[in-house]
Structure 1
Amino acid sequence: MGKQKSMEAPSSSSLRWTDRMDKFFIDALMNEVVLGNRVDGSFTSHAYDNIVKECSEKMKLPLTKDHLKNRLKTIKKNFNEVFDLFGASGWGWNEVTAMFEYEDEVWDSLLQRKPEAKKWKNTPFPHFNLLAKLLSKDRATGDESGTAKEKRVHMTPTITESSDKSEGTMEGKMGDSKDSADSKKGKKRKATEDIFREEISIIKQGLDNVAQALREGNEVIEKGRPQVYTTQEVFEELSRMELDPITRRKAYRFLNAKQMRVRELFGLPPEERMVYLMEMMINE
């Protein structure tokens, strides 16, 4: 028998991405950001190696870097379009329907100004919140799939800002180059710290909610739970009554035999307890 043929990678045109596949992909991208494998808005080769491996295993498909780069290019294009239309204008994004929602008159006004928004009125855009965390800060750097020349153009404003501080000297430019590199490293660290801080905040909020629910539950339990009196409290109460030692010992055994008797007795005003105790012992 011949050897079983290994699964061939699908062509980019034949590969159909689903929302579930996109979620795997976006999660993998976010993880690489946390690991520091995105530099100047572009994912490193090492990042793509990790993502190819992770997504291929989860999706059960022999994916390649080209598959992922092409998909990211499409995701960025759609995100930029959606973000420009809705991201900064206070529109509500419904996580359940994965669509932007507002009154019809607001939609009508938007469509008059931007007819291209029509397709998003009834078209879901899943994972918008995740993509906003991943892509909104890097939109100024352009599409990472662009050419090296395009990337240099996108980087020019950053270099120009550094050059303005150098007062035109060569020493200043060299110093600013170092400052720029340090600044990029600082931004990468800050982006990673921001993601960690946000995730920790979400976890903390969840733990706070659980703790609050436990506290409220314990309060309800405590309110509904009958009070239990100790034998010492029973003896101290009997000692305050004018009882002879024999009667006091009998009353002590009688009350401690059933907590219900103790609660019944302690529910009365102190001045009525002795008479009620005698009545209970006689009628028992």
Structure 2
Amino acid sequence: MEELAEGLGGNNGHATWTSAQSTFMLTNLANVVASGTKTSKGFKKVHLNACARALNEKFATKRTGEQIKNHLKTWSRKFAKINRLRKLSAAGWDEDNFVITLDADHYNSHVEVHKADAEYLNKPLEHFAEMQIIFGNSMATGNFAKDSSAPLGAEDVETDTEEDAAQGPADGINTPNNDAASSSASRPKKKAKIAENEDDGLIKAFKSVGTDLAEAIKTAGKPDTDLPSDLFDQLKSLPGFEKTHVSFYFSYLVANPHIGRAFYALPFEHKIDWFALFITERFPGQ
């Protein structure tokens, strides 16, 4: 995946994101959603700042919460475009591998006009599961985020208009009579189709990210206070954490058993992500 560059807030400089850094950010914030701490209006500033601190620690960068927010907008536009391409009249959808499928004739016809769409068609979509978790429920509204108080996953009006104009007809397949069909009278119908994403909410998102994570979320809803007997042993086995951190996080899980059970059910690498996120929030600067 190519490196991505975005403007920094009000500066003229650019922040270059590597594939590894984007992966870390998306995984980190998807885990925040999985833990139930994301609000209905998106991520709070504390979530973005904690993600920046964790990323800086891992990659020795100097990211800010504002840069995390801006990079999220880049991925929200990707997710919006993917959802539009999934609605091409000739497109299929491979749910297991996250692939928008087109037969050879339709693919060649579409890509000939929309060359930039080739990276989204007939190949696995990188980080689709994480994007679905982070943006899935917000995308159903068709409104794209403009600031930290607006729902995440909503694209700027200017960007949406430009992509609609470049995309042409709603199905993306050009015919000799398409010039009339792509008039302004047909635009409202295309935009209205975005709202059909309402069925692709968080329930489907959690299903797509994998059996382990979905099971963790389901387990988190249990009302009892029981915790696995070897939970503390699992915490001690995680590399890179001090004894004080282990004790502190264990006391937190005991006080919040529903989170403790969800943590226990996670795969090994996700346990590390959850633990690291908690420590960066509670012990900033360490």
**Greater relative contact order (Cα < 8 A, sep 6+):** 2
Question: Normalization by structure 1: what TM-score?
Answer: 0.43
Q: Which structure carries more helix by proportion?
A: 1
Structure number with greater Rg is 1
Question: Normalization by structure 2: what TM-score?
Answer: 0.43
